[in-house]
Structures are given as structure tokens and as C-alpha cells.
Structure 1
Amino acid sequence: MRKKIKRVSGMVAVSLFAALVTPVMAAGNADSITWGPGAGKSSYMANVRVENLVDKHATAETRSLFAYLKDIRGKEILFGQQHATTEGLSITAKDGTQSDVLNAVGDLPGLFGWDTLSLEGHEKPGAGGAPMGQNRDKLIAVMKLAYKEGGVLTLSSHMPNFVTGGSFYDTKGNVLSHILPGGDKNSDFNRFLDMIADFANHLKDESGRAIPVIFRPFHEQNGGWFWWGAPYRTKEQYIQIYRYTVEYLRDKKGVHNFLYAFSPGSPFNGTEAAFLETYPGDDYVDILGFDTYYDGTSAGWFDTVVNDAKLISRLADRKGKIAAFTEFGYSGVKQTGAKDLQFYTKLIGALKSDQDAKRMAYMQTWANFNTDSIFVPYRNAPNGLGDHELLPDFVKYYTDSFTSFSDEVRAGKPYSRKVLAAREQPFMHIVTPTGNQTVPMSSPTVLRARAVNQKVKKMTYRIGNDPAEYPMILDAEGFYYTADWSPSAALEESGTTMTVKSYGKNGTVLSQTIQVFVGDVQGNTDPLVVDTFDTYKGSNELLDAAYSPAGDFNAITLDPEHKNGGKYGLRFDYNLSGQGYTGQIKNMNNADWSGANKLKLWLAPDGSNQKLVIQVNASGISFEAYPSLAADTAGVVEIPFSQFAPAPWDTSNAGKVMSKENLKDIRSFGIYVNKKEGTAGNSGTLYFDEIQAYNDGTGGVPN
């Protein structure tokens, strides 16, 4: 039945909870019973629903929420907003009792989001300088208000840079290598996780039952704006830090009211491999999600959303997970001037048009922090704002029978289903070193491995083809099996495999093999050198570990034939049949190029006349230059920094020029190929070598 609009005549909404009905009571605090493959059967158990969650000890309400979100897929989609009751433009209090959404349509969101920044005091309801316990209690208070209305709660995590002390936008320091076990900042990261665990274990309803939360760490990891983004870590490091986070909270700190969401940024070009590149595994993820934002002009964005939602929905079906649109919005919307006044109805219409794409459990937009970026249109806002121009379309979105807000969620009783957690299958993984890591000859490397859901009799490791197995010892905390490994001199400057086996007391054997390299960590000692491609020991695995892919399909390999010098050049095979762009990005570790005035590289073009993009991120600004691919003659290309300009999509930095000041902080280097109108064919091969910054003495770079 289509919803009726409540209190949308323009009058100011009264207090949030005075206007809503009595909340549904949560389910009873039933014991967490495991059930699954290999377990005995009984008439009672045969009639009880069983779901496979990350946490086999998840609370009854958490198990119920998982089942509820699976059940609604394809029938309805929950609308959610970050800071729905603690930020807003039409509200007078930001204490969890008012909401722009409520004022706009007379109903609360069905899903409410906050971030660990609130626990740190950087976002409401937390306060800067306040004790951690006080910020925790304030966040718990507003979450409990939302939960009492039947709302679903989410918590994202914009973590600080544990190396520099900067924000999540500070990409310096190769942070993941420092916070993984054995890293010098691992204890700092643990303290941050302790803060999250303390919050989770205090988040309880009036009856003392733990309140469920969807926890979404390390999101949009395939982008380059966060320190856990693609240019600043390997995929193996990402997988291990995500697993570490889950295991620390679940197994060390006893957090059993979390569902775990995995949410890279769109697009994925219709390929599961793109979405799953950093996937930590089915044992660590409950919700498969994706994040993407509309710019108001890209008509193809809605088709991309449908394709991505379809891909993720099918994956979720196969894996027994929940599919969700974990973050979306219309970027840059101001008080007036929006280019698309039908954004919400277009989006829900696009999702509904496909039987798989419509099976998102929820879609969550961002916070109304200020009028610079408005994600939910307001009604009757003070200070002369009045009604936002997107409000009529948002009302239509609300009245669509497929969208669910607080009233529908409360009626669905998300916390009252009787559900058991499936017994987890045994799993073992090597924690350190990570795959394709280069380990030193000068000191022993600590091997760490963990077996989950297996009673271990012994754990061993072996190196390469040597059949000998060496023992690993359980550490003092009883968490990891460890061993010190000193590579033999014969392995220096070469790769080898490392195999760990875990022997269970019941006769099961778990095994994992990774490749590692021995010797100096790959890279150029000269900060002006981007790459000569001679430091990877001839290994394409090391090359792949140094670069991160973006966009459509491409493959990079070392090529001994096409080069300008040394042993190898880079072969770059691309295909533009998806989004129309593809690229590779390398972390430059904040190199100082302030003494240079040009970039030069050896290039063998393919005559395609596609658009080649050379991108240099200097002090957070993505500057680009566009060497021609019209010819097919190889040679050295020199590009003065004066010819670099901010990327067209980076409108906030339009007009800026490369200066000596921003050249002091080179964060990443990227090679992209964009589809150019009027060009024939979608695929080709380019070759690169000896990419570096230098100074030819002619100046041209402002201070």
C-alpha cells in the first residue's frame, strides 16, 4: 500500500519522538546457538532458521537483523542517512531528537549512520576535548533513540593516520605496513579498536541487551583519498588489516553485536574480480556494498549504479550475504542551482527497473553538515532557507511504495526473528608477512598465522620446494602461531614460496601458500625517479604490488624488449570497453620534486589517438598532462610542469598551477588511457620506461 504523507504542509515538525508511535520491543535475549554443516539434527532444530554470519556468537538481535535485511531484498529498500538526527539544516537541536528527514516527509529514516569520529569528539554528538567515555555515552544516547524507533544503525570509520597523527585524508606513511601485527604502530591501532569495542559493549537497550550495529571499516579502498586507499597499500595488506580488525573486535574484545560491511567505490565494470580485488573472504563479511555519488550531469551514472547493484546482488545471493547501497548521494548540491531536480525518483526508478539491482537491502546517503553539500532536501528551514528545490522529488521518493522509512521498518520488526548462527568451517590464514612482500636478509622475519574454528594440534611452515616442515609456536596471548625465519643467502634477490599448515586435533589439515621476496625492498632511491622498471627482480608480482589498477581492464608486465635502457620497460595493455577509462597508480611516498621543473618519460605509443593521461598528485591536487598517442614512434617525451593542470573533475582546484610548494609533496603517479570521441577500437598496447622528474635549468615553476 502506498504511504500517506504526514505533516508535509510546511509547518515545523514537533519533537521527533513525541510524533511517533510506541517502539517495538526487541527480541528476547536467547542464547547464541551454533548450527550448520556436520551438526546433528533434531526436530526442534530442523524448524529453526539458520544463517551464516561472520560471528557465530552474534547476539539474538544481531542474527535477527541479518535475517531481516536478507528478507526485505527485492521487496523494499531502506532509506538511511548519516547523522540523520545529529546534523541538519532545518532542525534546532542536534541531540538525536530532530531530523531534516522527519521535517521533510513526516517520517524518520529507516537506517541511521554515525562514524567513529563521534567517539573521538570530531563529530556530533561527540565534542572535541571531551573525555572518551563522555563522547561514547553521547553517541550511545542518540543511537538508542533511533533504535527505540525500530531503526537500523550503522557505524563507519574514518580512522586517523596512525603514523603521522593526521586525518584519514593524510595519505603519508604507508600506514598499513605499520599497523599490522609486528608494526611499530600496531599498539596505537589496537587502542583505536579498543575504543570501538568499548562503545559496542556499552551499547545496550533498557533491558541490557546489546544493540546491533552494521560496522563498515576501510571503505572506498579502491580510491586514492584515504590512507588505506589503493595507491598506499597492497591488496594483501588490505585483506589482512580487514581480517585483523574483525578478529580483534570479535575474538579478543568480545564484540558480538556487529555485522560487517565491505564497500569499495563504484564502478566495477561488470566484473566480479574488480569488486572482489581486496575482498577479505566470506568468513569476514556480512554485507556486500558499494559507494558512489552523482554529479548532476553524467546521464550514464544511473546505468552504472544498476550494473553495479546487479553485480553485487548476484554475488550476495551466491555467498549468502546481504547486498546494500552503502553510500550514495547527489554531490555538491547547494541551496539552489541543482542541475537535476529528479535525482531521487530517477535513482529509485533505475534500481527498480532490474530484478537483481532492486535487491539492495538499504541505501544510505550522507549528512547535511552545511549548505555547501546538501544530501537531504529540507522543509521550512530557518535563516531564509525555506524549502529546498529538490524537496518535491524527495517527497515522491518517500511516497514510492518500494522505499522504506522508519514506519515500515518498525512494522517489519527487524529484531524479533528467531534465527540461529551456522557453525563456521575451519579457516587458517598467514598474517605476516603478506603476500608478495619483500623481507630483509639482515634480520629474521616473524611468521604469524592464525587458525579459526579449528582445535590446533600443531602448526608448521616450509619454504619453497624444501619438504622439511618447521614448527610454529603459539604466542603468549594464545592468538597467533609464530616462528622466526631467517632466509638463506641463496634466496637473496629472488622470490620463494612460504607454506603454512595447521593440523587439527580431529585430523583436518589447513594450508596456505604465499609468495615472498628476499632482499632490499623494491623501489628507487632517487626521489625524482618514478620508475625505471629494473628494481622488480623481473617479477610481475612485485610490479603488481607496486601499482594499483583503476577503471576498465588493463594489465601491466615487465618487457625486456621494449625499453629505453636497463633490463626492462613497462608493457601496458588496455581495454576501454567498459567505463571508457583505465589506469595504474603508484605511491610516490611524498617525494620532494620542488627542485625539478619537468617530467620526462620514454613512450612507445600505439597510434590509437586515445587520450593518454599522465597524472601527478602533488599536495593532494591531481595535476594532469596529455601526451599524444596519435603517432606510433617511440621516443622521450618531456612535459614542463607548467603544462600540467588540475584534473577536469577536480573543480575545487580549477585554475591552480604546479608550484614549488606543492611539488614538495608528491603522493602518487598515475598513467591512464581515456576513450576519445571518434577513435576506432577500444584496446591497445603502450610501452613506458625511465619515468622521472628533472630540472633542465630553464625554470618556469612558481614558488
Structure 2
Amino acid sequence: MFKKTGIFILLFFIIISAFSQTASAHTVNPVNPNAQMTTKELTNWLAHLPNRTENRILSGAFGGYTNATFSMTEANRIKNAIGQSPAVYACDYSRGWLESGNITDAIDYSCNSDLISHWKSGGIPQISMHLPNPAFQSGHYKTQISNSQYQKILDSSTTEGKRLDAILSKIADGLQQLKNEGVPVLFRPLHEMNGEWFWWGLTEYNKKDSQRISLYKQLYQKIYHYMTDTRGLDNLIWVYAPDANREFKTDFYPGSSYVDIVGLDAYFSDPYSIKGYDELTALNKPFAFTEVGPPTTNGIVGSLDYSQFINAIKQKYPKTIYFLAWDDEWSPVANKGASSLYNDSWTLNKGEVWQGSSLTPIVE
């Protein structure tokens, strides 16, 4: 009898040990090894959303540019129209078009108070930046620069490099406020780099520039090391987001040690024809639609059916963990199918992320 009991106990501990090792193997950690515990838990939770049968895609909306258009208006508009609030709510810290005597005037993080409230009430903030161009005194976020100018921006000993460093310092001050409140952030720097409209991206339509791509990677990595190593911001979940309507979506990828989530900024008339999903998911990172909306060039604005978008996600892009719809005329409530999008059984809205003080259970 003792032998049988001893064998049973031994087998029990072997099973428990094997289960623990399997569970540990499935844990997805942030790229920052020193990430705060809440950020670690959230990163792992996000990565496991596609394992669920429902409640597996976080809804999202853009709230505007801080100190210009940002407010909770878009969240309230969605809530009033369809009875749901977006789980992810985005603020842009930078009005890169602002002309002023000091380039850092374009940086503002006064949206933080609303983002903190959003987190504490069961949501997640995303932050992006339409950065001013350090090659100039201020503004010029859409002014193209040469590769030699780009190199000067990367060099902290130059005037251009000092401007970049000042910009990054002020952005970090804003992120520090969120860290102090224990708020993890979906941080999306230097988006749509494969397009030709921002100073940090390409200069010609779908024309590959290997030097430019290398300079972009250096810039992204510099931002990562400054925020992570110099400023100790351990609350950031790093998001890499090329444009869906341009080539070279993964060429700019700064490396798996610098990215937690890959995504696409996608403006489309046919959600079944979005390009880049297979390329991005092949990088073996959680995937998101980091900006979505109808295009402004073909008269689709105001008539896009967002119910088709959620159906396309189910059928063609099932690894998606969140989507973030743009505001104003691109908003789901300014188009069609908003209720179907936010009320679908696959969609998680604010209030469905947390159960008390814990994230809703991971389902394997």
C-alpha cells in the first residue's frame, strides 16, 4: 500500500512539474527584461487572446492629438451610439506640424489624465507620435530629408541630434507620469515608415532605399534604448506598425528584441484585401490593426461597412489581438456596421479586460 501511495505521489508531482514547465513555456514576456509586473502580465495576456473562442479582440479608437483635438469625445460617441466603450484608447503626443520657437513645443502629454482614468476603469492606452522634424527648428513632420540629414539627427553632438534628444526627453517625461501611476502603454513610435509621407520614412513611393532602412532601424533602436535603459520606462509595450498599402513592411523591422507587437495601419475599401498580414505574423509576434478606417481617395468615407471588417478578421486575420479605428469621418459610428463591430462575440470592450483587479482568464 505504501509503495502504491508513494508511486501515486511521485506521479502526481511529475505531472504537476510537467504542467508547470508547459505553462512556463507558453509565457510571452515583453522585450524589456525589466518590465514592471503589470506590463509583463498584460503582454502575456494579449499574446494569448487568439487562443480564445470568443472575447479575443480588443476594440479601440483614436482620441486625437493632445493639446489640439484629444478628448474622450470619440469614446463617448461610440458609447452613446452602440452602448460599448473602446478597450484601447489612443492619444498622439505630438503635433509635428506645429511651427514654434522651440521644437519641443510640439510635444504635449496633457492627455495623460484621461489615459490614467481609462486604465483605471478597465481600458488600455496606446500612444503614438507625429514627430516634428529635427532637421528644422520646428514643424516639418512631412518634409522629406536626405540620408545625410538623417545621420545628423542620429548624432547627439549635432544641432539636429540635440533637437531629437530634447524631443525624446519630453516624451519620456510624459511616459514617466504613466509609469508612476502603474499604467502600461501600447507605445507605437515611428509608424508607417514604409510610406513616403513622414520624415523618418521613405522618400519615394515604393522605392527601396537600403541605407534609409538602416537609418530607420538605428533611430527606432535609439528611441528604445533611451526610453528603456536611460529613462527606465518599464511600462511600455513596443508596437511596430508599417502601412498596409506600401511595400517593404518587414524590411524596416528593428529586430525581435525591440518589438512586442506587430501591426498594420490599414485604410481600405475591401477588408478582405488588406495586404501584409502573412508577412507580419511570420515575425512571430502578436498582431494588431493599429489604425483602421476607410480611404479618403475614393469616396468610401462615410460608407465603409465595419461589420465586414470584423468578419474579415475572423476569416482571414484570426491572430488579431486588437484594432484601433481612427476618429472623425473615419470612425465606425460615422460609417456603417459600428454595432456589429463592437458588439461581436469576438470583440472585447472596456470593462471586459479586467475581472476585479485581475485580467480575464487566459484560455489555452
* Alignment equivalent of 1:51, drawn from 23, 28, 34: 28
> 2:153 aligns to what?
179
> 1:328 aligns to what?
292
Gaps of at least 5 residues in structure 1 are 1-41, 123-127, 378-387, 419-703
Kept in 2, the 8 Å contact 1:84–1:109? The answer is: no
> 1:219 aligns to what?
191
> 1:308 aligns to what?
276
> 1:399 aligns to what?
343
1:225-275, Cα deviation, whole Å (9 max, x unpaired): 001111286111111111111011101111111111111111477xxxx33
Q: Distance in 1 between matches of 2:200 and 2:112?
A: 27
How much does 1:197 deviate?
1.3
Query: What SS does structure 1 have at the residue aligned with 2:266?
Result: strand
Q: Distance in 2 between matches of 1:187 and 1:410?
A: 42
1:242 paired with 2:220, answer yes
* Alignment equivalent of 2:62, drawn from 74, 82, 88: 82
Query: What SS does structure 2 have at the residue aligned with 1:114?
Result: strand
Normalised to the residue count of structure 2, the TM-score between the two structures is 0.78
Query: What SS does structure 2 have at the residue aligned with 1:235?
Result: helix
Kept in 1, the 8 Å contact 2:156–2:162? The answer is: no
Query: What SS does structure 2 have at the residue aligned with 1:279?
Result: coil
How much does 1:200 deviate?
1.3
Q: Distance in 2 between matches of 1:182 and 1:86?
A: 27
Q: Which amino acid letter does the alignment assign opposite residue 257 of structure 2?
A: D
Q: Distance in 1 between matches of 2:339 and 2:356?
A: 22
Query: What SS does structure 2 have at the residue aligned with 1:55?
Result: coil
Q: Which runs of 4+ in 1 moved over 6 A?
A: 84-89
1:25-75, Cα deviation, whole Å (9 max, x unpaired): xxxxxxxxxxxxxxxxx99x8575743322000011111111111111254
Q: Distance in 1 between matches of 2:216 and 2:47?
A: 27
How much does 1:145 deviate?
1.4
* Alignment equivalent of 1:168, drawn from 141, 144, 161: 141
**1:345-360 matches, cutoff 5 A:** 345-354=307-316, 357-360=317-320
* Alignment equivalent of 1:266, drawn from 232, 244, 258: 244
Q: Distance in 2 between matches of 1:339 and 1:259?
A: 31
How much does 1:315 deviate?
2.8
How much does 1:339 deviate?
7.3
How much does 1:219 deviate?
0.9
Query: What SS does structure 2 have at the residue aligned with 1:83?
Result: strand
Q: Distance in 2 between matches of 1:400 and 1:326?
A: 19
> 1:196 aligns to what?
171
Q: Distance in 2 between matches of 1:264 and 1:255?
A: 24
Q: Distance in 2 between matches of 1:85 and 1:176?
A: 25
Q: Which amino acid letter does the alignment assign opposite residue 366 of structure 1?
A: W
1:280 paired with 2:254, answer yes
- Structure number with greater CO (CA < 8 Å, separation at least 6) is 2
Q: Distance in 1 between matches of 2:325 and 2:127?
A: 13
1:479-517, Cα deviation, whole Å (9 max, x unpaired): xxxxxxxxxxxxxxxxxxxxxxxxxxxxxxxxxxxxxxx
Q: Distance in 2 between matches of 1:88 and 1:396?
A: 31
Query: What SS does structure 2 have at the residue aligned with 1:241?
Result: helix
Q: Distance in 1 between matches of 2:226 and 2:166?
A: 11
Kept in 1, the 8 Å contact 2:93–2:108? The answer is: no
More helix by share: 2
**1:487-502 matches, cutoff 5 A:** none
**1:376-525 matches, cutoff 5 A:** 376-377=332-333, 388=334, 390-391=335-336, 393-411=337-355
Report the structure number with the largest CA radius of gyration: 1
Query: What SS does structure 2 have at the residue aligned with 1:156?
Result: strand
Normalised to the residue count of structure 1, the TM-score between the two structures is 0.42
Kept in 2, the 8 Å contact 1:157–1:217? The answer is: yes
Gaps of at least 5 residues in structure 2 are 1-16, 205-210
Query: What SS does structure 1 have at the residue aligned with 2:353?
Result: helix
Q: Which amino acid letter does the alignment assign opposite residue 288 of structure 2?
A: A
Matched-pair identity in %: 27
More strand by share: 1
> 1:256 aligns to what?
234
Q: Distance in 2 between matches of 1:209 and 1:283?
A: 26
Aligned residues: 328
> 2:45 aligns to what?
68
CA RMSD of aligned residues (A): 3.7
Query: What SS does structure 2 have at the residue aligned with 1:398?
Result: helix
**1:568-583 matches, cutoff 5 A:** none
**1:539-554 matches, cutoff 5 A:** none
